[in-house]
Amino acid sequence: MRDLATEQGFVPIAAAAFIGEHSYSTEATPIAHGRPDALDLVQAQEFGAMIRERLAAPAALRGTPPLQASGAYPYREWIPPTDVSPITDQALCVKCSDCARACPTAAIVVGEVVATAPASCILCTACVKKCPTGARKWDHPRIGRSREWLSTNCRERKNPELYV
């Protein structure tokens, strides 16, 4: 985000990495379950207030060095697999199209059945989260392995990182 904003001519003065529940999180395999929580929101409010304070005195910002933020530089290109996407339990599906509307890549077409183009799926899980009947679900070993790994290895609570 910092790099994109800078490319567009903005001068980022602060950044933060806040934590949200992972889209693969389930009751059995929680991954940052319940985040952001009350403590996170307090920190976000304080972060916002600090930025507002700094913006109130723009002259003091002139000449400040470029914002530093941690990250895995240089970025690696991520190529999503072309054969993985959520499935639909047609017996539970009520053809509401909520999944199709939630999909950011238009990978889902709702007709007689719910059809998904795996090559267009970026594994975001929006359709699974949005489905009101639980018809939309992951049933792929690759996702299962990722879910298990994350749930096992990312159990410890982590705190948001602020860059100012």
Footprint on this chain of ligand SF4 (rule: CB under 6 A): 85-86, 88, 93-99, 102-105, 107-108, 110, 114, 116, 121-127, 130-131, 133, 135-136
112 vs 10, 26, 96, 129, CA distance in Å? 48, 29, 12, 22
Our CB check for ligand SF4 shows the closer of 31 and 131 to be: 131
Beta carbon of residue 22, minimum distance to ligand SF4 (angstroms, whole number):
13
Please, what is the minimum distance in Å from the beta carbon of residue 143 to ligand SF4?
10
Is the CB of 43 or the CB of 120 nearer to ligand SF4?
Answer: 120
CB of 15 or CB of 107, closer to ligand SF4 = 107
Distance in angstroms (rounded) separating the CA atoms of residues 117 and 141: 18
